């Protein structure tokens, strides 16, 4: 099964949140429905790539069993444009997934902290990607990523005024 990262986000978005195991199960169900060979060993790698690139983000939510249990789930991330893969609409009829409430602000802060951490060691290519993610994050969750952008601008060799368009030169031409 060769799902795009937006389609992975679409599967998760269909349920609101999914654990990694539930997402892998959903991918296996989709592969079966599409008549494709199921390669479950590849699912974790595909999911991890989507997390690395911020199409999916991890969050901690109250467990479905109650009693204060917490579990790690995936939610569609700030760069995702969730798209439902072929036969995706059938998944809620196939899988029994509990509803889990998420706090977008808390998740946004966690993603911001992750961005700050990654900004410390990012090479130029990764820093450029993270800079794009920082803008997407502000639209996705009620957080400010100015600090992240300042740090990334430093690693890209730009002054904060250059990256924000405040330079005296006309960068548009």
Question: Each residue of 27-62: pLDDT tens digit?
Answer: 999 988 888 888 777 889 999 999 999 999 999 987
Q: Both 69 and 33 in a single domain?
A: yes
User: What is the per-residue DSSP string for 122-149?
Assistant: --HHHHHHHHHHHHHHHHHSS---HHHH
CA distances from 4 to 10, 50, 94, 138 (A): 10, 9, 21, 23
With residue 27 as reference, give the H or E element that holds it.
Answer: helix 20-33
Q: What's the mean pLDDT in 54-82? A: 85
Q: Both 54 and 112 in a single domain?
A: no
pLDDT (tens digit per residue) in 129-173: 999 999 999 999 999 999 999 998 887 776 554 544 444 344 333
Q: Is the pLDDT of residue 78 over 70?
A: yes
Domain boundary (66, 94, 122) is at: 94
Q: Both 65 and 118 in a single domain?
A: no
- Please give the backbone phi and psi of residue 148, each rounded to the nearest 5 degrees, phi first: -65, -50
Q: Is residue 150 part of a domain?
A: yes
Q: How far apart are CA 152 and CA 131, in angstroms?
A: 7
**Count of other CB atoms within 10 angstroms of residue 28:** 15
The average confidence (pLDDT) of the chain is 86
DSSP 8-class letter at 72? E
**Rounded to 5, what percent of the chain is helix, strand, coil?**
55, 10, 40
Q: Both 12 and 82 in a single domain?
A: yes
Domain boundary (47, 64, 94) is at: 94
What residues make up the domain containing 117? 104-161
């Amino acid at each position: 099964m060769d799902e795009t990262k937006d389609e992975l986000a679409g599967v998760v978005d269909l349920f609101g949140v999914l654990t990694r195991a539930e997402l892998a199960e959903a991918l296996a169900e989709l592969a079966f429905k599409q008549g494709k060979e199921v390669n479950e060993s590849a699912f974790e790698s595909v999911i991890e790539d989507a997390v690395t690139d911020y199409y999916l983000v991890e969050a901690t939510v109250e467990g479905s069993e109650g009693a204060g249990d917490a579990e790690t789930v995936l939610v569609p991330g700030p760069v995702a444009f969730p798209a439902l893969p072929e036969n995706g609409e059938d998944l809620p009829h196939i899988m029994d997934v509990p509803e889990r409430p998420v706090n977008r602000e808390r998740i946004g802060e966690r993603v911001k902290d992750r961005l700050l951490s990654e900004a410390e060691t990012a090479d130029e290519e990764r820093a450029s990607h993270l800079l794009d993610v920082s803008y997407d994050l502000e639209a996705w969750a009620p957080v400010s990523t100015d600090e992240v952008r300042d740090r990334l601008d430093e690693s890209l060799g730009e002054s904060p005024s250059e990256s924000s368009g405040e330079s005296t030169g006309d960068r548009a031409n």
